[in-house]
Amino acid sequence: MLVPLLISLENLAPFSALRSSAYAYPVILALHLCAISLFGAMIVATDLRLLGWALAGTSVSDVISQLRWPKRVGFLLAATCGFLLFASKAEEYYYNPFFRFKILLFALVAIHALVFRPRVYADSAGLASPSPAAKAAAAVSLILWLGILCAGRGIGYVAGRPGMHFR
């Protein structure tokens, strides 16, 4: 049921054109990687500050507030480019075990954000040293995002299945 939907998605004219373009696909891939770099740097800086391993002279609330917009821009660009890349090869990604693992990790990041983000950011505001819960949340965040990066890197090393339904 899901595979026919993915095949229909990837065969829509814009995604088919993107997949077959000699320039557009590599440019979007490069933008995706640049956005991941921006977003990842903001996540790492925030998490390292929560852990007390970096930016010790800056309050946690200052780090969070100053990195909020670059983090949002990086995430929005990475997610948009990532969707375009996915939609152009949806069936191939569906069968890719690294892609499936990456999606699982994204689900865990979403759960992590829903559970920890409100508490961690509220508890850490203005504190010189974040709480143990904030430090644990930062460590889990770093592990999940590192896993997403590794899984994303692995996606390109799994060949598509024979008989893909590209037009």
User: What is the domain extent for residue 101?
Assistant: 2-155
Our count of domains for the chain comes to: 1
- Domain-located, residue 163: no
Question: Which DSSP letter does residue 125 get?
Answer: T
Under the banding of pLDDT at 50, 70 and 90, the label for residue 166 is low
Give the global pTM.
0.85
Q: How many CB atoms lie within 10 A of CB 51?
A: 17
Whether residue 36 contacts residue 70, with contact meaning beta carbons closer than 8 Å, is answered with: no
Q: How far apart are CA 35 and CA 16, in angstroms?
A: 23
pLDDT cut 90: percent of the chain above it: 68
| Burial of residue 81, with CB atoms counted within 10 A of its CB: 0-12 exposed, 13-18 middle, 19 or more buried | buried
- Domain-located, residue 91: yes
- Residues 28-69: pLDDT tens digits? 999 999 999 999 999 999 999 999 898 888 888 888 889 999
